[in-house]
A and B are shown apart, each in its own frame.
Chain A
Amino acid sequence: MAHAEDAEYANEPLEFQSAEGRNNILGFWIFIGAEFALFSTLFATYFVLVNRTVGGVSAGHLFALDLVLIMTFLLLTSSFTCGLAIHAMRSGKVKQMINWMILTLILGLGFVGFEIYEFWHYAHEGATLSTSAFWSAFFVLLGTHGLHVSVGIGWITLLLIQVKRRGFTPRTTSKVFIASLYWHFLDVIWIFIFTGVYLMGLGGL
């Protein structure tokens, strides 16, 4: 929608130049607020149930720090490359932006791959969704995060196709910018998971 006040935003990055872009970005920030409430609830559930392993396999027993460190490294790096992609977008370099994003996606896929391996490994050791309340909470918390990452990969892939076809416009840039917010948000959540679930789990808390 063309608005008169759009002129005020002429010096802003492309994604802020249309009213629609600005609305979408604000709307997405609010949505991220809702996502925080969502993950807070999952964390709350997890911490309430953390000691309810009913004598079965416990977390400290299975968690392997090296695997988790690799996953953390992959996801944190992907957040960095995602930031570089947005930087390239701000400079108007389509190709550079696409390349950084593809690297982001590869790192994200690596993360998801390791997570799937991790789950498979735990299942192999006798820890599944239905083993105990603790493992239910663990798998649903981690699974929700992993699912978010997977959706993000699919979403960004679609956006890259659009950028390739249309170049940078207020529409495409605001979409990519929003997807990058989402990606950073998932990174933040992972930091909470890393400390709250893995480090505390390994520390025997």
Chain B
Amino acid sequence: MKWDEFIITGDPLILGAQISILISGIGAVFVLTYFKKWKWLWDEWITSVDHKKLGIMYILIAILMFFRGGIDALMMRTQLAAPNMTFLDSLHYNEIFTTHGTIMIIFMAMPFLIGLMNVVVPLQIGARDVAFPFLNNLSFWTFVIGMGLFNISFIIGGSPSAGWTSYMPLASNELNPGPGQNYYLLGLQISGIGTLATGVNMMVTIFKMRAKGMKLFMMPMFTWTTLITSMIIVLAFPVLTIALAEMTFDRLFGTHFFNLTNGGMPMLWANLFWIWGHPEVYIVALPAFGIFSEIISTFSKKRLFGYNAMVYSIIAISVLSFLVWVHHFFTMGSGAVVNSFFSITTMAISIPTGVKIFNWLLTMHKGRISFTTPMLWSIAFIPNFVIGGVTGVMLAMAAADYQYHNTYFLVSHFHYVLIAATVFACFAGLIYWYPKMFGHKLNERIGKWFFWIFVAGFNICFFPQYFLGLDGMPRRINVYGVEDGWFALNFISTVGAFIMGLAFIILVYNIYYSFRYSPRETTGDSWDGRTLEWATSSAIPPHYNFAKVPEVTSMDAYWKMKEEGIDPNKIEKYEKIHMPSNTALPFVMGCFMFLVGFGLVFEWFWMGIVGGIGIFACMAFRSFDYNDGYYVSVEEIEETEKRAREAK
């Protein structure tokens, strides 16, 4: 390995990124040192097992990744704005669309939703924390390490360039030499471990830690979707784990699972990838449905229409999600019978999804709809998602799919689905639960600017792409000619992308502005909410969440209490509360995981072995750790709750 192959040089764009990362890194260190915040960072955040803080950190990193993935997108759109552009060469373009896709799905959408789950779900079910707080912190750090490893690739060694689907044999050593693809494999593998752990954690939390009286069919819809999503995670992620491991073996240890030589079978990778990959789509879509259900019900001041049907349709979707993976490669020539079967299962998904759409509409029907910003995002979701959905049905028709496949029609379809459902839900959920996390709302006026500009930009960017697809423009090309006739629509699309970029700046400004100027919330119930997360004694819930866990008698538990005039925070006698202790071990383990990952990326096996030993040592250390947590004293609870009352 030569030094000049190690650090990427010779590209002004990458050099610029390197310099800005260096400057912001130095800046962060300076600020932390100058304001003496290192201890605060360590004690309050890095080692924290508080589900709310972990959730906030997840969301923070997800927003950072939204920025990174967004910059990738803008660079791609710049390159495609006009025919024969030379802004990016094909290598650089290929790396960027690969990282864009991977980052947006794995390191933006999923952690954003997992972050919201972390903040909200224990509060919604009246729990003090998740079932496994230590594991929760570990999940977070494995995610951060996987994310970090994947992201440094563009500075050190070169990014992966085989697409986020990394089809073999293109991703094999022969056709894709260098460390780039290894980064993809190891980064996803490490963060996948954390995701799996989160799935287990959420399932046990929801099954075992619900407040007294909360039956499964009284749970808020977001909790339901979290439960079902976690089940999908537990069943789907092991498939990815094995697929990634097998490709890693192909690249590092000379096996022949998917490559061209000695009987390897490239098709097998595509199958395994999508057996995980299609459920993955629902891992990021179902929680979004849950978020919209909460918000639409809250701001229509009406209970959710057809609650049971909503639950059953989520379950139906989750089952079907495992039975449709072949629709990602109808063109592989699996034969007419196979393609027909998967056409029908795919179209069948539209049935429960359609049920949900109408249930949302009927939730608003006969309600009192107020157009707050979270509600605007939820309303905008419906028409945009329907466009994405019906084009999905069109793609499901295999015979027609031979013409849409690998084109911009497909690109537009999945952006309409993923942005209108997942990204809109991330924004809606962030704004909706923002006061729960930070004690003040985001400014509504600026929020509306953000909303309208983003939604307009989104449609301007992606709607023309349906027509580009029908006009024969394939995805993933880095350049096209004048004679192709794709200039006008591409240019419009690029304009739309930059409008979305502008909207993102407005969001960031709104966070700053609201931090400075928004009035502080005095109660825990910022939006006249319906579910338990709004029943806490203060705007930002104390670390133990509820001084006394409320008892639940129906769905929309808090709404019921308000109707009956019950104040859940009027407690006569406090009892001491048992809470878990902070832990530094997951962070240390994360560092060893980084050694393993980085060592394997460059095939420095000694480094991998050192890291592996470190990980096992940490696990052994944890096994001998009998720290049972600590008790929050009655005096401390009284003091905390008194302060919350005074704030009102």
Please report A residues at the B interface, Cβ cutoff 8 Å: 1-2, 19, 22-24, 26-27, 30-31, 33-35, 37-38, 41-42, 44-45, 48-49, 52-54, 56, 129-134, 136-137, 139-140, 154-155, 158-159, 162, 166, 171, 175
Chain B: residues with Cβ within 8 Å of the partner, total of 44
A26 touches B208 (CB 8 A): yes
Residues of A within 8 A of B132 (CB): 23-24, 27
Q: A26-B207, A54-B263 are in contact. Are A130 and B253 (CB under 8 A)?
A: yes
Given contacts A23-B204, A52-B263, A54-B262, is CB(A37)–CB(B253) below 8 Å? no
| A-B contacts, 28 listed (Cβ < 8 Å) | A22-B208, A23-B208, A23-B209, A26-B208, A30-B204, A34-B235, A35-B238, A37-B234, A38-B242, A41-B238, A41-B241, A42-B242, A45-B242, A49-B257, A49-B265, A52-B263, A130-B254, A130-B256, A132-B256, A132-B263, A133-B262, A133-B263, A136-B257, A139-B255, A140-B246, A158-B624, A159-B623, A175-B623
A136 and B249 contacting across the interface, CB-CB below 8 Å: yes
Docked pose: A50 CA to B376 CA in angstroms: 55
Q: Which of A19, A130, A132, A137 contacts B208 (CB 8 A)?
A: A19
Complex CA–CA separation, A53 to B264 (angstroms) = 10
Which 4 pairs, one residue from A and one from B, show the smallest C-beta to C-beta distance? A52-B263, A133-B263, A136-B255, A38-B238
Contact A38 to B241, CB < 8 A, known contacts A1-B578, A54-B263: yes
Given A31-B200, A37-B239, A134-B263, is A162 in contact with B623 using a C-beta cutoff of 8 Å?
A: yes
Cβ–Cβ < 8 Å partners of A52 in chain B: 256, 263-265
In the bound complex, how far is the Cα of B196 from the Cα of A158, in angstroms? 25
Bound Cα distance from A52 to B257, whole angstroms: 10
The chain B residues found within 8 Å of chain A, CB to CB, are: 128, 131-132, 196, 199-201, 203-204, 207-209, 234-239, 241-243, 245-246, 249-250, 253-257, 262-265, 268, 272, 275, 578, 616, 620, 623-624, 626, 629
Out of B128, B241, B249, which one reaches A140, CB within 8 Å? B249
Q: Are A37 and B235 in contact (CB under 8 A)?
A: yes
Question: B264 and A133: CB pair below 8 A?
Answer: yes
Q: Pick the contact of B234 from A30, A56, A140 — CB < 8 Å?
A: A30
CA distance A99 to B420 in the complex (A): 60
B589 smallest CB distance to A (angstroms): 16
**Interface of B (DSSP majority class):** helix
In the assembled complex, the Cα of A158 lies from the Cα of B262 at a distance in Å of 42
Closest to B203 in A: A30
A137 nearest CB across to chain B (Å):
7
**In the complex, chain A residues whose CB is within 8 Å of the CB of B275:** 41
Chain A hits for B196, CB < 8 A:
34
The answer to whether B262 and A132 have CB atoms under 8 Å apart is yes
Q: Report which of A30, A38, A171 forms a contact with B626, defined as CB distance below 8 A.
A: A171
> Which one, A38, A133, A171, contacts B256 given CB within 8 A?
A133
